[in-house]
């Protein structure tokens, strides 16, 4: 499937119950040839309304975090583990994640990024390892099909608990350094 076919197919996806309550499918945004892919959890209310990832409060913070290491969102690609909003912003269930992640797998194949940054434990639990512990393992490097992969706290977690921001600042610096080494 090429990019347009993939996006079209994803838009009409009914592989789990989340399609029943979605307003918009939130496929992803950014440079389809990006060297760095950021992966969040799933759309919130604003994202569901506008069809774009990270446009609410957490998204504004993500933009600030990116700017602190000289990155604009147009230079990267941003996607989520699930493409439709889980009601009340609950965690996507294991069944919903299993139904939805083939879309992300296909996006990763097409983008072919050199580095992946997981935003929070849900993304890390799928892309790094099942029992990923965000508190202990954020900012560590792992490998995903030959790519560098790491996880940082989700911006929504930083809004809830600003004491985590220092750690995230260091993780972002580490990502900035690593990004200088990738082509």
Binding site for ligand URA (CB under 6 A): 40-44, 47, 53-54, 58-59, 80, 156
Question: Which CB, 42 or 139, lies closer to ligand URA?
Answer: 42
| DSSP state, residue 95 | H
**Which of 115, 121, 119 has its CA nearest to residue 134?**
121
Question: Which CB, 42 or 113, lies closer to ligand URA?
Answer: 42
SS3 48: helix
Cα dist from 121 to 65, 71, 95, whole Å: 18, 23, 17
Minimal distance, residue 35 CB to ligand URA, in Å: 21
Question: Which CB, 148 or 154, lies closer to ligand URA?
Answer: 154
Question: Which CB, 59 or 113, lies closer to ligand URA?
Answer: 59
b/e sequence 93-119, b meaning 16+ C-beta within 10 Å: eeebbebbbebbebbbeebebbbbbbb
Which position's Cβ is nearest ligand URA? Answer: 40
Minimal distance, residue 119 CB to ligand URA, in Å: 6
Minimal distance, residue 158 CB to ligand URA, in Å: 12
Minimal distance, residue 39 CB to ligand URA, in Å: 8
Minimal distance, residue 144 CB to ligand URA, in Å: 18
Work out the number of other CB atoms within 10 angstroms of the CB of residue 177.
10
Question: Which CB, 164 or 181, lies closer to ligand URA?
Answer: 164
Alpha helices in 51-93, H assignment, sequence order: 57-68
Q: What span, in angstroms and rounded, lies between the C-alpha atoms of 80 and 42?
A: 5
């Amino acid at each position: 499937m090429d990019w347009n076919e993939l996006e079209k197919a994803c838009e009409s996806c009914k592989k789990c119950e989340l399609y029943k309550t979605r307003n918009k499918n939130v496929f992803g945004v950014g440079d389809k040839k990006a060297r760095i892919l950021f992966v969040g959890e799933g759309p919130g209310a604003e994202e569901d309304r506008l069809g774009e990832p990270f446009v609410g409060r957490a998204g504004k913070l993500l933009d600030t975090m990116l700017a602190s290491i000289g990155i604009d969102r147009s230079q990267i690609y941003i996607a989520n583990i699930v493409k439709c909003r889980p009601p009340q912003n609950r965690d996507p269930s294991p069944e919903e994640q299993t139904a939805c992640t083939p879309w992300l797998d296909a996006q990763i194949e097409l983008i072919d990024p050199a580095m992946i940054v997981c935003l929070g434990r849900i993304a890390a639990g799928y892309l790094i390892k099942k029992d990923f512990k965000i508190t202990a393992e954020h900012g560590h490097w792992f490998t995903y099909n030959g790519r560098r992969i790491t996880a940082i706290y989700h911006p929504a977690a930083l809004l809830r608990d600003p004491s985590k921001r220092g750690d995230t600042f260091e993780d972002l610096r580490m990502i900035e350094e690593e990004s200088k080494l990738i082509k």
